[in-house]
Amino acid sequence: MLPLAAVSGCDGADVLAAPPSPAPAVTVLREAIAAEQLMITRYTTALHQAGAAGGSAGSLAGTLEPLLAEHRAHLAQLRSRLIVPAGSKASPAAPHERAPAPVPSGVSTSVAFLRTAEQDAVTAMRQRLHRAPSSLAQLYASIGASEATHVPVLDAAAARVTP
Amino acid sequence: MSGRVPSAPGTVRALQTALTAEHAAVYGYGVAGAYLTGSTQAAAAMNDWVAHQVARDHLEAVLRSLGAQPTAAAVAYQLPAPVRNASEAVALAVVLEERIATAYLGLVALSNDSIRDYGARQVQASALRAAAWRGGTVAFPGMTAAALARSRKRS
């Protein structure tokens, strides 16, 4: 009599082995999710700083809040593309390899910091294009384009805020 | 676009779609420009009109290099709304750029790296022009709500 595993063609040891590594596209998607989460944290911090500073800095909220809302929309779309298996404890976002730089204090400095962060995000999103299936590539391109439009908005805000 | 571009039917179709959108944009900016007479807006309209002519010429060259006949421009295009003054001209420019961004997202969906990168750069350029005309940004340039829902199901 053959063992059941041989009859079924299954290898019991493989069935119980560790789950396979995620596909490269999944890793890239997790990176994109982590990047948006970080951007949202940065905007939230900058908004708190501007609110605390008051005066002309307080008016920055009218500029930063719409951009923050767009990053939240980006994050929601990216998260909706990631299917996490039921019962999985894995975080939907990839952890950052290094601790991200904190938002500097000072309103004009923080606006300049956000501008640089947006430019870096555009570059990173473009690099993800080539490691993505078609529908995700379109989403990355659209999000990257949106983030590129944030740069001139922050330039104009920087001109309004006195250091 | 650099490197070898594959001449698959899907590639040619997506390039023709982008070219058709560029033809419409060149025509549309010609109409809008007539109503944008302030120095800043007139200069912006002229810059954008030229940018679309350059993109059109590039797409035509790529299509010819693939052995395809580039789609010709129509004599006239139906405008999405009447243009009778500067604010309607600005609204037209925004619509043209949104349609251009959507067309270039078709190139981003192709698997060739060079075309995908070119498409993404054009989506970005269009989003910047649209934001300047609109005076505001959007979360997903070139993607309609329906397209976002459709691509979410596919991925």
- Verify whether the Cβ–Cβ distance A146 to B139 is below 8 Å: yes
- Verify whether the Cβ–Cβ distance A134 to B111 is below 8 Å: yes
Chain A residues whose CB is inside 8 A of the B123 CB are 141-142, 144-145
**Least CB-CB distance to A146: which of B110, B137, B155?**
B137
Chains A, B: CB contacts within 8 A come to 104
Range name among B8-17, B88-97, B142-151 with the lowest pLDDT average: B142-151
- As a whole number, the mean pLDDT across chain A is 84
State yes or no: pLDDT of A5 exceeds 60. no
Range name among A99-103, A106-110, A131-135, B103-107 with the lowest pLDDT average: A99-103
Q: Helices A61-81 & B145-154, crossing angle to 10 degrees?
A: 30
Range name among A144-153, B6-15, B82-91 with the lowest pLDDT average: B6-15
pLDDT at A22: 74
Report pLDDT digits (tens) over A118-141: 999 999 999 999 999 998 999 999
Residue B10 Cα to chain centre, angstroms = 18
pLDDT at B98: 97
Query: What is the amino acid identity at position A118?
Result: E
Q: What integer is the mean pLDDT of B101-106?
A: 97
Residue of A75, A128, A138 to mutate for B, most B C-beta atoms under 10 A:
A138
Q: Of B127, B15, B27, B146, which Cα lies nearest the Cα of B71? A: B15
Q: Residue A110 and residue A122: Cα distance in Å, rounded?
A: 18
Chain A residues whose CB is inside 8 A of the B154 CB are 134-135
pLDDT at A84: 72
Please tell me which residue of chain B has the smallest CA distance to A72. B139
pLDDT at A163: 61
Complex ipTM, two decimals?
Answer: 0.93
- Verify whether the Cβ–Cβ distance B116 to A129 is below 8 Å: yes
What does the DSSP assignment read for A75-104?
Answer: HHHHHHH--PPTT----SSPPPSSPPPPPP
State yes or no: pLDDT of B105 exceeds 50. yes
Q: Residue A47 and residue A61: Cα distance in Å, rounded?
A: 6
**Rounded to a whole number, what is the distance in angstroms from the first to the last CA of chain B?**
26
**Least CB-CB distance to A141: which of B105, B138, B148?**
B105
State yes or no: pLDDT of A162 exceeds 70. no
Predicted TM-score (pTM) of the model is 0.88
Q: Residue B7 and residue A52: Cα distance in Å, rounded?
A: 58
State yes or no: pLDDT of A91 exceeds 70. no
State yes or no: pLDDT of A96 exceeds 90. no
Report pLDDT digits (tens) over B22-46: 999 999 999 999 999 888 999 999 9
Residues of B with CB under 8 A from a CB of A: 101, 105, 108-111, 113, 116-117, 119-120, 123-124, 126-128, 131-132, 136-143, 147-148, 151-152, 154-155
Chain B residues whose CB is inside 8 A of the A69 CB are 139
H or E element in which residue A7 lies: helix A4-8
- Verify whether the Cβ–Cβ distance A148 to B124 is below 8 Å: yes
Q: What integer is the mean pLDDT of B101-126?
A: 96
CA distance A146 to chain B (A): 6
Using pLDDT thresholds of 50, 70 and 90, give the confidence band for residue A16. low
Report pLDDT digits (tens) over A66-90: 999 999 999 999 999 987 766 665 5
pLDDT at A43: 96
